[in-house]
Amino acid sequence: MISILNPLRELNTLTVCIRMILAFACGTVIGLERSYRNKPAGFRTHTLVCLAACIASLTGLYLYLIAHLPTDVSRIGAQIISGLGFLGAGTIVVTKRNTVKGLTTAAGIWTTGIIGLAIGAGYYEGGIFAAFLVLLIETDLSPFRHNIHQVQNFCIIVTYHDRRNLDSVLRFCKDQNMTITNLKVSGTEDSENPVYSAVITLRAAPNIDFPILLKQIRNMEGVISAEEQ
């Protein structure tokens, strides 16, 4: 602990203002980076979360140290951490390719709230250093994320006439080094003009050109259509 900051750990009007200003600054800096990247939660959301968590932490300290009420100072903070989970869940979406987006923003909101709690409790070193690490993760480490080879998931709907056509499609996908993770087939039993539909979930390597793959499937014999779900 930095001893020079010890006077600021006391609870008075000056230290309350300093803690709220620091929480405001940390939330704003983190949020500006999110706004720059056009993420669902921007600087206003992060600033409000950090500031609100700081106020909650200060309220717990006030009730115990100033109002002398028989309360647990950590109880309010614990509820804040739980509530931030619901707020972060609003930024998480599932795309049509069955991939999840918004997890980093949700985690950032949750972490920003905890930073606010730390600053509100007077743990300046931990809160400020944590804010610095969050910015480091969301900015300087972003290029490394693009160098990580990720396995992609695709979901396609194939309409065809004969069940043997589906076998050809599945065989073609396997030849392209794609793994079939799920398959759901439906259709009619009309013997004159049978039409079947298959929902195929595929796992592919990053170098797969999905639009070209769909085009090749459409051109296969017996295939009526092939579209991404």
| CA 18/CA 16 separation, integer angstroms | 5
Give the confidence band of 23 by pLDDT, cuts at 50, 70, 90.
very high
Residue spans of beta strands (DSSP E) within the chain:
93-94, 100-101, 152-160, 179-187, 196-204, 223-228
| pLDDT tens, position by position, 184-223 | 888 765 556 778 888 888 887 667 777 888 888 888 888 8
CATH level 3 topology of 152-228: Alpha-Beta Plaits (3.30.70)
Quote the percentage of the chain above a pLDDT of 90.
9
Alpha carbon separation from 26 to 103, 117, 119 (Å, rounded): 20, 12, 10
pLDDT value at residue 149:
57
Quote the percentage of the chain above a pLDDT of 70.
88
Mean predicted lDDT score pLDDT of the chain: 82
| pLDDT tens, position by position, 81-97 | 888 888 777 777 766 65
Give the confidence band of 129 by pLDDT, cuts at 50, 70, 90.
very high
pLDDT of residue 168 exceeding 60: yes
pLDDT value at residue 115:
92
Q: Which amino acid is at 76?
A: I
Query: Which has more pLDDT, 143 or 32?
Result: 32
- Which two three-digit tokens encode residue 165? 């056509």
| pLDDT tens, position by position, 109-123 | 889 999 999 999 888
pLDDT value at residue 136:
84
Nearest Cα to Cα of residue 229 among 183, 178, 172: 183
| CA 84/CA 107 separation, integer angstroms | 9
**Average confidence (pLDDT) over 44-57:** 89
Q: Domain segments of the chain: what residues?
A: 3-146, 152-228
